Amino acid sequence: MPYSVTPPDGAAWSIDVEATATGVALVFVFDLAGVPTRAKLDMDRPDSRLFARAVLAAGGDAMERTFPGRSGGEG
């Protein structure tokens, strides 16, 4: 069963997550020069965990750069 994420601003893209035989797949749907495009990224469990850690690290880095000197209350 896919779990769609569509931005609330009505942007022409979405991200779905699908279970696969070996792990998960991220499915990106977007317009590329006016052409509907679908890209699928298949990952096994170790790749999925590495990807998740990288996204969390990027998000944390972005928060620190956006709001320097503030504590998120965690830790």
Task: Name the percent of the chain lying above pLDDT 90.
Answer: 24
Q: What pLDDT, on a 0 to 100 scale, did the predictor assign at position 33?
A: 82
As a whole number of angstroms, the distance between CA 11 and CA 14 comes to 8
Q: What pLDDT, on a 0 to 100 scale, did the predictor assign at position 27?
A: 92
Q: Is the pTM of this model over 0.75?
A: no
